[in-house]
Amino acid sequence: MGCGGGERMEEDEAGTASSSSSPPIVQLGYDQVLSVLRLLPPEAVLSFAATCRVFRAWASSDALWEALCCRDWGSRATAALAERRRDRGGGLQAPWRRVYAEVARLGALSARRVPARGASPRPRASHSLNLVAGWLVLFGGGCEGVRSPS
């Protein structure tokens, strides 16, 4: 039995019923399936990938995720990322799917200016800033050797 479920009956050209174990999408070419996947939102591509091993391989294509990055962020941003990936050279490069996921997570972040009461803190180095129960907590760090902006 192929990817996508049980057997189904279909009529051939002579009008007789024949058994086929693969769904129609498997009969499409790889390039045709990628063309369709490029039009879908990332959540739909991931759902498609969860269907079976063959679909997972198709939906994990680096070319597909690079095309999704280009579609969602624009060709200039994607080209800049591709250039940076090439410049890093010999090391193992993160797949475009991971790049897409990391940038999507960044899109969920937001920042806002908080008015400081009293004297503003000096610039810091070697510190840790963590979000704990909705509060920003600054641990350690120092001001030695850090120049104040002019």
pLDDT mean over 9-19: 47
pLDDT in tens, 88-125: 665 667 789 988 888 888 776 666 777 778 887 677 77
On whether the CB atoms of residues 130 and 139 are closer than 8 A, the answer is yes
Highest mean pLDDT among 9-18, 36-45, 103-112, 137-146: 36-45
Helix or strand (DSSP H, E) at 148:
none
Closest CA to 144 of 119, 125, 130, 127: 125
More confident residue, 136 or 48: 48
Contact by Cβ (8 Å): 43, 104 = no
Would the pLDDT of 3 be above 80? no
Overall average pLDDT of the 46-59 stretch? 88
Res. 6 pLDDT band, cuts 50 70 90: very low
The dihedral formed by the CA atoms of 65, 62, 31 and 12, expressed in degrees to the nearest 10: -90
- Decide: pTM greater than 0.75: no
Q: What is the DSSP string of 22-81?
A: S-HHHHS-HHHHHHHHTTS-HHHHHHHHTS-HHHHHHHT-HHHHHHHHHHHH-HHHHHHH
